[in-house]
Structure 1
Amino acid sequence: MNKINKDRWIFIGCVVVATTFWAMQKLSNNYKFIQRYSVRYTIPNGKVFKRQPTSTVEVTLVGLGWDIVTKSAKNIGDKIEVELSADNNQLIPSSAIAEKINSLLASNEISVSQIKPSNINILLEDQANKKVPVVSKMNIEFLPGFFIKNEIRFTPDSVVLTGSQQQLKDINQWNTEIVYISKLNKNIVEMPVALESPKSEMLRLDESMVRMNLEVEEYTEKIFTVPLRVKNSDSKVKSIPNKVEVRCVVGLSKFDLLTEEDVELYINLDESLIKRNVNIAPISISRLPSFVRHISYEPAAAKFFVLK
């Protein structure tokens, strides 16, 4: 048994030595190796990209295998920094990119064989600014009997966008991120809400976050009767009923403000009804305060009679 274990360890040692020798022999040869580098641009103040340039370059490196492995491993994640001038049209040649890569590698044993793209075209233009309102994408679920008292308020209520004129032309608002709130029954005060991130690196916001304030109150039902009006009738008409019971769901702060004079219901007697000898018309709403959340009434239609 001891002899078998000894032979096994001798065999493993031989394999390790052979593998190491093979790897060192291979790594002593010249190889080509492709590596990607991120490109980061520094733009002069007052300028923006007219068209987004490439953000990565594909570089073919040539050198001894060992040098490539050690150097490229050290430089993984490195960025090529390119400082732009104020000219609207610029060309970054491959030689300038190669120089920056050689500086990162800091090795005489590795050379840059090829760069894709070979040249980088830069198109700049004067930056434009546009102020647009912040729009809520809040998804709020209230506890039964509670609802919004006043409109949602954001601070700041608008953001300034910076980009090209073409980009800003069709942007007229900026959304918050979608936020879900459930079972709400109290006010929200100075809640931080993130704004949507620009989908393009060429567009910038002066704010990434706003603060939300929302007043919440209890709602209840108020019941009263309103007279039923008749519209578009040249003759004297009697409706049955001539008064309708109305149920309005309204916030407690507006409960005493709401009266029957704020609500108007009517039937519309166009000639087609009379010509068809129809004496039933649907009841519609012609006036209702915006603070009423819901309204219902009975009946939904009324009979009418033309008095001779």
Structure 2
Amino acid sequence: MAIVKLSATERRRLSVFFTCLGVAIVAWIFTTLSNPLPYTIDAAVTYKNTPQRRAFHSLQADTLKATVQGTGWQMLFSKMRDDSKPLTIDLSPLETRNYVVLSTQLKQINAKRDANQQISSIDPDTLYFDFSNRLTKKVPVTALMNINYQKQFAISGNVTIKPAYVTVSGPTDRLKEITEWRTDSVHAQKVNETINTRINLQPVKEGNLNVYPKTVQVVIPVDEFTEKTLDIPVKLINNHNYDNVKVFPQKVKVTFTTSLNRYKDMTEDLFEATADLDLWRDHGYSTLPVTINRFPPFCKIVKVVPANIDFIIKK
């Protein structure tokens, strides 16, 4: 293959040519991107002034196509990042009809946008809605928790939520499906004290639903836990023939964890230990396992000694 050898002058001229070509291309791109250029974005929809006496359901997607009067640079950056603001649609016209014309609201929509990113049109231009009777229902609030506790600390009581119920209004069919309303997740790490915080409810995903209030107060009691041991009498169950049965021992030692605040209140009356005589009668057990049927909430059974008891049946 022949190799073209260029002189120093020719190489310099070739270098100047490619440099000028590169500068021209960059200048052309810069000029083109600086010129006005309409482009289309996907814009999410939010609603305001929703009808209070009519439940509604949108008959189109919650994302619309909006044509923006901007520049090529703005179009380029809009593709690189998702920073488009949602379009807030005024639903007050639904008080008298079942559709909203978006072109009549462009002025108020653009009032919240930058002057160099004004929307010229929206597709579809008309939004249609389906209506049904609007009902109101109270549902309990459920707190979602993602909590990591410090060693020997744990939740020590029932979570308190104020208010415990929220009011949900919307279509009858949709309300039948709603049995609770959840909060955003409460996140905390290495917790060693009670949590008292205000948390948002999970947002409404449908425009035809309303939830009030939007936030609740959540109190999560947290305490240090320690072990305690009590002697609990064993109760014999399923003695159908009323046999004279003696169990040995008559009490078992139950070790459990409890919060320090409730340590003194933990008495044997709060526990119930049972042994099932049917295990001998139906299955031939020679010893009966002890089961702790009842113990205080937020306590954890660590061990039962002995785990099995002997018995004697006198005829």
User: What's the TM-score, normalizing by structure 1?
Assistant: 0.69
Say whether residues 1:235 and 2:239 are aligned partners: no
Alpha carbons 1:152, 1:212 under 8 Å: kept: yes
State the alpha-carbon separation in 2 of the partners of residues 167 and 43 from structure 1: 17
Q: Distance in 2 between matches of 1:258 and 1:10?
A: 88
Cα 1:46–1:258 change in 2 (3 A) is: same
Count residues in correspondence: 279
CA gap of 1:43–1:222, structure 2 versus 1, over 3 A, is closer
Q: Please point out which of 129, 133, 146 is paired with 1:122.
A: 129
Read off the aligned partner of 1:195 and give its amino acid letter: L
Q: Does 1:171 align with 2:178?
A: yes
| 2:255 paired residue number | 247
**How far did residue 199 of structure 1 move?**
2.7
Q: 1:53–1:297: structure 2 CA closer, same or farther, 3 Å change rule?
A: same
Following superposition, the deviation at residue 291 of structure 1 comes to: 4.8
Match of 1:223 in 2: 229
User: Which residue type is aligned with residue 182 of structure 1?
Assistant: Q
SS at match of 2:184: coil
Aligned sequence identity (%): 23
Task: Letter of the 1:192 partner, please give it.
Answer: R
1:46 maps to what in 2?
A: 53
Q: Report the Cα distance in structure 2 between the residues aligned to 1:125 and 1:276, rounded to whole angstroms.
A: 61
- Does the C-alpha gap of structure 1 residues 201 and 213 become closer, same or farther in structure 2, counting only changes over 3 Å? same
Query: 1:59 offset after TM fit, Å?
Result: 8.2
CA shift, 1:228, in A, is 2.0
Mean alpha-carbon deviation: is it higher for 192-201 or for 134-143? 192-201
Q: In structure 1, how many angstroms separate the alpha carbons of the residues matched to 2:190 and 2:86?
A: 48
- Aligned partner of residue 269 in structure 2, secondary structure: helix
Alpha-carbon distance between aligned partners in 2 of 1:274 and 1:90, rounded to the nearest angstrom: 73
What amino acid does structure 2 have at the position aligned with 1:137?
A: L
> Shift in Å at residue 129 of structure 1?
2.5
Distance in 2 (CA, whole Å) between partners of 1:99 and 1:258 is 70
List gaps (5 residues or longer) in structure 2: 1-7, 76-83, 111-119
RMSD of aligned Cα (Å): 4.4
Consecutive unaligned residues in structure 1, runs of 5 or more: 28-32, 61-67, 106-111
CA-CA distance at 1:100 after TM superposition: 6.9
Tell me the CA shift for residue 258 of structure 1.
1.9
SS in 1 for 2:281: helix
Alignment of 1:104-123 (within 5 A): 120-123=127-130
Offset, 1:132: 1.9
**TM-score, normalising length: structure 2:** 0.67
Give the 3 Å change call, closer, same or farther, for CA 47–246 of structure 1 in structure 2: same
Aligned letter for 2:166?
Answer: V
Identify the residue that residue 301 of structure 2 maps to in structure 1: 294
